[in-house]
Amino acid sequence: MTMIDEAIDSWIDAHFAEGVIPPFSFIYSGKPSGDIITSWQFHREEAPLGDDRTNIMFTYTDPESMLEITCECMLFNHANAVEWMLYFKNKGDEDTPLIEEFRTINTTIIERPRGDCMLHRLLGSNAQIDDFSPVCERKVHSCRFPWSVAS
């Protein structure tokens, strides 16, 4: 039986739900995603992958342009960890409006975790030798919260 860590389950429910601003952001046709995405169509699909992982797909669809954003979350059960990938797909008949200032994570961690908090991510691209290099940011348990993260 799959058992999702309670802290991760609560965090997912608080950040990925209908009418809630997700923990990623972008500018779409000149508008911040936080101002528009809460009115988009929302769908959640969950699939356990054995005892150690759960895959949850969150889909946001703009009813006007039919831009579809799928956030594929992998929950690592019993490890108090989650990762996600974002996929953009134009399902409309017209070109998608401009998407800019995309942030794969843009959130604030308010609750103090049980231990140190670790953010693993990749650098973006500036046409440099270290493009997409891994980065690890550590917020030790004794530090002050909230911790705002945008990348």
88-115: pLDDT as tens digits: 999 999 999 999 998 888 877 665 556 6
pLDDT at 95: 95
For residues 139 and 27, the model is more confident at: 27
Q: State the pTM of this model.
A: 0.78
- Helix, strand counts (H, E) of the chain: 2, 11
Q: What is the mean pLDDT of residues 14-19?
A: 91
Q: How confident is the model at residue 130 (pLDDT cuts 50, 70, 90)?
A: confident
What is the spatial distance between Cα 79 and Cα 96, in angstroms, rounded to a whole number? 38
- Computed over every residue of the chain, the mean pLDDT equals 81
Residue 5 has pLDDT above 70, yes or no: no
User: Nearest 5°: CA angle at 22, between 41 and 151?
Assistant: 135
Quickly list H helices, 1-151: 6-15, 33-36
pLDDT at 37: 96
